[in-house]
Amino acid sequence: MSDQKKSLTGKRVVLLGASSGIGLETARMVAAEGAQVVIVSSKLSKIENALKSLPSDAEGFAVDLSVEQNIRDFFKQIGSLDHLVFSAGENLTLNNIESTDITQARDFFTIRFWAAVAAVKYSAPLIRPGGSISLTSGTASTRPGSGWSIASAICGAMEGFVRAMAVELSPIRVNCVMPGVIKTPLWDSLPEADREALYAHTADSLLVKRVGECADVASGFLYLINQSYATGQTLAIDGGALLV
Q: What CATH number did the domain enclosing 225 receive?
A: 3.40.50.720
b/e per residue, 123-138, with b = 16+ CB within 10 A?
Answer: bbebbeeebbbbbbbb
- pLDDT value, residue 95: 86
> Is residue 242 in some structural domain?
no
Task: State the total domains in the chain.
Answer: 1
Is residue 1 predicted with pLDDT exceeding 60?
A: no
Contact predicate 237/22, CB 8 Å: no
Q: How far apart are CA 74 and CA 224, in angstroms?
A: 24
Q: Which domain holds residue 221?
A: 3-185+213-236
> Is residue 203 in some structural domain?
no
- pLDDT value, residue 4: 58
CB atoms within 10 A of CB 194: 11
> Is residue 57 in some structural domain?
yes
> Is residue 81 in some structural domain?
yes
User: Tens of pLDDT along 143-174?
Assistant: 998 988 999 999 999 999 999 999 999 999 99
- pLDDT value, residue 3: 46
> Of 14-23, 112-121, 146-155, 183-192, where does mean pLDDT reach its minimum?
183-192
> Is residue 198 in some structural domain?
no
> Is residue 199 in some structural domain?
no
Q: What is the DSSP string of 168-212?
A: HTTTSEEEEEEE-SB-SGGGTTS-HHHHHHHHHHHHHHSTTSS-B
Instruction: Supply the pTM of this predicted model.
Output: 0.94
User: Tens of pLDDT along 69-83?
Assistant: 999 999 999 999 999
Is residue 240 predicted with pLDDT exceeding 70?
A: yes
> Is residue 207 in some structural domain?
no
Closest CA to 59 of 87, 85, 29, 35: 35
- pLDDT value, residue 185: 80
> Is residue 197 in some structural domain?
no
Instruction: Please give the torsion angle defined by the CA atoms of residues 104, 108, 111 and 117, in that order, rounded to the nearest 10 degrees.
Output: -110
